[in-house]
Amino acid sequence: MAIRYCCFRLLPGVELISVAASPIDPDELRKQLFDPAAGAYCSFEGWVRNENDGQTVLRLEYEAYEPLALTEGEEILAEAKRQFLCQTAHCAHRTGMLEIGDCAVWVGVAAPHRDEAFRACRYIIDQLKVRLPIWKKEHYVDGHSGWVNCERCAAAT
Amino acid sequence: MAIRYCCFRLLPGVELISVAASPIDPDELRKQLFDPAAGAYCSFEGWVRNENDGQTVLRLEYEAYEPLALTEGEEILAEAKRQFLCQTAHCAHRTGMLEIGDCAVWVGVAAPHRDEAFRACRYIIDQLKVRLPIWKKEHYVDGHSGWVNCERCAAAT
Amino acid sequence: MKSIKVCYFAMFREHAGVNEETLTIDATTAADVFRATRERHGSAEPTGHCKVAINDVMADWDSPVSDGDTVLLFPPVAGG
Amino acid sequence: MKSIKVCYFAMFREHAGVNEETLTIDATTAADVFRATRERHGSAEPTGHCKVAINDVMADWDSPVSDGDTVLLFPPVAGG
């Protein structure tokens, strides 16, 4: 049985990772993960919320350097599949201007059992957040805006 | 801010938990969890897989005692919301005959941040599996069938 | 002697061959009822793996049963 | 002196006021390039929070730069 998990089945037309300005369709992405040997599916979505660090957020703007975001994202997915023996793992990240409630990032994992599915999904989102060359600018209700994690740079200018 | 999480917002027409013979629609259930203060969404699905303990499975049959499955399920959801401060948590469980790939159980959680969403979702599925009065019968390719976790009873007859 | 309605689920239902039946038995606790059905239908499942409810409320094996109660016998669960 | 194309992202792009520019500088490592842009555009972000890529491959701050290289300067990331 174990041999099944040793290769990554890259189906034609199915992207492992997308970084794009078009809306994320979680239901469509989920369907691409179906596998008759998978008993567990775990997904994570990051939604644009109306508040951060006590400030009311109106919208978010994501900037990505796509060539390296894609390579780094594929590497993270491959690491997760190796570490947690999951069958398939995909992710998608938005760029551009997003409104409250929009899906900014989606991760989906199919695995034989739930422990592997949860752990792989968590690993992928944790790594995506710190490794992908993607930046987030918050636009606040008071008209100001700020790059998240860049308060130090902002203070210096 | 914290006061927001102290009440469970029971929207009219939205069930916290369902235990039913009709197919689960994860996309529809997911949409019911939308909340402008939620930044994280985690979902889990149990899919009918084609193999268990080395035996080829053709289909699964779920039997539930619905009145107590609903009460116990609501209690589990309430525990998760209290422990992990998530905003909304719903779940759905199938009954009846299911084919390979069918969604047998769905759990969805919306929370301010991802750690709470993952932990609440994991708590709910772990508890559902051991506490809900639901039984699973596997039908194998060789024509036999067996109640999962009941091998001991089977051995005694 | 008490009149106790017993409901069987899953494997227990298959052992009993009926969904439910009313027994007239000398039983003080839920465990007594379970023992009576075991003798009747042959399941050897220990109570530690099983659960019981009385009148639609989850109960313990040493919960008392009264005349007219409905006792639900749950074999080991396997949701999800 | 080397001719290095520098690409700025997010906060760094806003500081520089341009997406990219070609600098003719005396630089041995990626850190030298970053220091040169700091003097030019005023960001005080320490390298420890930032990342750098050379010719579309992730690099370290002490990676060597050659004449004609493209250096990508990434401020602290915040995906998800």
For D12, nearest residue in chain A (alpha carbons): A153
DSSP symbol at B78 = H
pLDDT reading at C19 higher than 90 = yes
In a domain, D43, yes or no: yes
In a domain, D80, yes or no: no
pLDDT class for B30, splitting at 50, 70, 90? very high
Q: Are B44 and B119 in contact (CB under 8 A)?
A: no
Evaluate whether chains C and D are touching (3 or more beta carbon pairs less than 8 Å apart).
Answer: no
**Which of B105, B128, B133 lies at the smallest CB-CB distance from C74?**
B133
* Coil vs helix vs strand at A139: strand
Tokens of A66: 């796509």
Tokens of C64: 């008392």
* CATH number of D8's domain: 3.10.20.30
Give, for all 80 residues of chain D, the pLDDT tens digit: 999 999 999 999 999 999 999 999 999 999 999 999 998 998 778 888 899 999 999 999 999 999 999 999 999 999 99
Helices (H) and strands (E) in chain B, counts: 4, 9
Looking at residue A11, its pLDDT comes to 46
Q: Domain total for chain D?
A: 1
Burial category of D53 from C-beta neighbours within 10 Å (exposed 0-12, middle 13-18, buried 19 and up): buried
A114/B44 CB distance under 8 A: yes
Paired sense of beta strands B17-20 and B88-94, if any:
parallel
In a domain, A1, yes or no: no
A128 touches chain D (CB under 8 A): yes
Q: Domain total for chain B?
A: 1
How far is residue B50's CA from residue C10's CA, in Å, rounded to a whole number? 22
* Coil vs helix vs strand at B113: coil
Burial category of C62 from C-beta neighbours within 10 Å (exposed 0-12, middle 13-18, buried 19 and up): exposed
How far is residue D14's CA from residue A147's CA, in Å, rounded to a whole number? 10
C78/B93 CB distance under 8 A: no
pLDDT reading at A18 higher than 60 = yes
How far is residue C32's CA from residue C65's CA, in Å, rounded to a whole number? 9
* CATH number of B149's domain: 3.90.1170.40
Q: Would you state the torsion angle of the CA atoms of residues B127, B103, B101, B137, taken in this order, to the nearest 10 degrees?
A: 60
Looking at residue B157, its pLDDT comes to 44
Q: Say how many CB pairs under 8 Å bridge B and C.
A: 90
In a domain, D59, yes or no: yes
The pTM assigned to this predicted structure is 0.90
Q: Are C74 and B133 in contact (CB under 8 A)?
A: yes
How far is residue D26's CA from residue A68's CA, in Å, rounded to a whole number? 27
In a domain, D8, yes or no: yes
Q: Are C56 and C71 in contact (CB under 8 A)?
A: no
Q: How far is C26 from chain B (nearest CA, A)?
A: 25
Nearest to B113 by CA among B5, B38, B34, B22: B38
For A101, nearest residue in chain B (alpha carbons): B36
Range of the domain at A16: 6-156
Tokens of A124: 């992928």
Range of the domain at D44: 2-74
Looking at residue B109, its pLDDT comes to 97
For A65, nearest residue in chain D (alpha carbons): D9
Q: Say how many CB pairs under 8 Å bridge A and D.
A: 88
Burial category of C36 from C-beta neighbours within 10 Å (exposed 0-12, middle 13-18, buried 19 and up): middle
**Reported ipTM:** 0.90
Helices (H) and strands (E) in chain C, counts: 2, 5
Q: Are A104 and A98 in contact (CB under 8 A)?
A: yes
How far is residue B106's CA from residue B99's CA, in Å, rounded to a whole number? 16
Could you give the C-alpha distances from A147 to A57, A155, D76, in angstroms and in order?
A: 12, 11, 9
In a domain, C60, yes or no: yes
What mean pLDDT comes out for the span B98-105?
97
In a domain, A70, yes or no: yes
**Which of B72, B93, B150 lies at the smallest CB-CB distance from C11?**
B150
* Coil vs helix vs strand at B80: helix
Q: Which residues contact B74 (CB under 8 A, 6 or more apart)?
A: B16, B17
A120-138 residue pLDDT tens: 999 999 999 999 999 999 9
In a domain, A121, yes or no: yes
In a domain, B1, yes or no: no
C79 touches chain B (CB under 8 A): yes
pLDDT reading at A8 higher than 50 = no
In a domain, D67, yes or no: yes
In a domain, C79, yes or no: no
Residues A145, A149, A152, A156, CA torsion sign: negative
Strand partners, B137: B61, B147
Looking at residue B140, its pLDDT comes to 94
Phi, psi of D35 (to 5 degrees): -60, -40
